[in-house]
Structure 1
């Protein structure tokens, strides 16, 4: 059961936190399939950083609200409104900020995946340290289909599941089932339903909250070694996507997707 009291989500979504027994739980939500506009991305990155610096937090749980998709990735409404490369780069840099906050948090991040994950959502999962998903939680990289390519999410996904598997997802923008994701290491564990998911996430979080924080921080450094230059790399990648989003092909593709 979620520790968050039920509230109505506004049109811009929300990011909420709850800290208890060493577990810092972060929940994001947007009424449009948990998509991620700039405001939610910026708040999510800032919240992850703030929670990771809270002395009482020994493990972080990342989750999304609602019972539909885990996350639909980038907000198509905001993509369609981008007017120039600088604005586009700024939007895609929002994803980079969240990824960097997750991998640089000294605590392990356990991600609760209760539904489908598309585009940038796959990056969120890859940037966490241990993802637990229900067996209906298929995933895909849809960027190429709309003409922008999975550039910003690429480094974190490639590091998590390897170049070959990342390439498969990038080239064939179709859904991969949860079993495929588990075999490749995107998901650490797959469970049959949401009740089992909550039980598994809570158990894993409790176990990690009892672990030595210093050892956890050192493990994070080992696992994410080689990512120090990613600030510049992801900024460059955001610029690539920011340019492509202005193309006529991408404009038409986004309009088509929004109409579905």
Structure 2
């Protein structure tokens, strides 16, 4: 069952998405995620947001390749990659802290979403990879997010070795994950405790800390969409078209 929905209880909002193809994110899902985040940002009953996906194996497989294969113009290319720009900016601009839950692997845009969260819990199964270069494009939209969270060296290592999975402890060492657990059960127990504790603090303090954390990123309002244009242009190449066609067989 594919869905995007949010629920709120005791000041804690849970925003969850699910897609049958390894929790990939079609464009309409990205629109819905950004809309939900914008609503939660101004909801006075919400103090903290948990961003999670369904299932146990994969947090997010990134972009929906069936849609990417339909890109046949610069306009459609920019529109496709701008979906992630919308979500990343919505996370950045959300007045409430966003806590990420990575129960499994994250690929491409999924890594970018985790990097944009303010604090991330993960399991040992949460390996990460940026495969974009292997299909002739690059992680341009998510690059500023990953560079901010993990540093230029980590972004370079992930970008230029697109077939290599990095394990959860590598990601923790580089700053993507705050804490890594052996299994989902242990992680969820700690997340529950963490969220209840965080939601007990004054909302004014949480909002001001969020502002401080993101004070150097106002340029992202335009930058991420400019980078989406780069990805959209490269997606029209014969190399990329052939690679996507092979993956969709």
TM-score interval, normalised by the smaller of the two chains: over 0.9
2:153 maps to what in 1?
164
SS at match of 1:81: coil
The TM-score normalised by the length of structure 2 is 0.97
- Asked whether 1:121 is paired with 2:113, we answer no
Residues 37-70 of structure 1 deviation map (CA, whole Å, 9 limit, x = unaligned)? 1000000110111112111100000000122211
1:250 maps to what in 2?
240
SS at match of 1:54: coil
Residues 54-99 of structure 1 deviation map (CA, whole Å, 9 limit, x = unaligned)? 1110000000012221100000000001110101101111101100
Show the 5 A alignment for 1:2-81: 9=1, 13-81=2-70
Aligned mates of 2:198, 2:90 — CA distance in 1: 19
Structure 1, unpaired ranges of 5+: 1-8
Match of 1:197 among 187, 196, 207: 187
Residues 93-120 of structure 1 deviation map (CA, whole Å, 9 limit, x = unaligned)? 1101100111111111111101100000
- Asked whether 1:90 is paired with 2:79, we answer yes
Aligned mates of 1:146, 1:211 — CA distance in 2: 45
- How far does residue 219 in structure 1 lie from its aligned partner after superposition? 1.2
Contact 1:52 1:60 (8 Å CA) reproduced: no
Show the 5 A alignment for 1:136-151: 136-151=125-140
Match of 1:110 among 85, 99, 103: 99
2:222 maps to what in 1?
232
The TM-score normalised by the length of structure 1 is 0.93
Aligned mates of 2:246, 2:176 — CA distance in 1: 29
- How far does residue 215 in structure 1 lie from its aligned partner after superposition? 1.5
SS at match of 2:226: helix
Structure 2, unpaired ranges of 5+: none
Aligned mates of 1:110, 1:34 — CA distance in 2: 18
SS at match of 1:70: strand
Q: Runs ≥4 in structure 1, deviation > 6 angstroms?
A: none
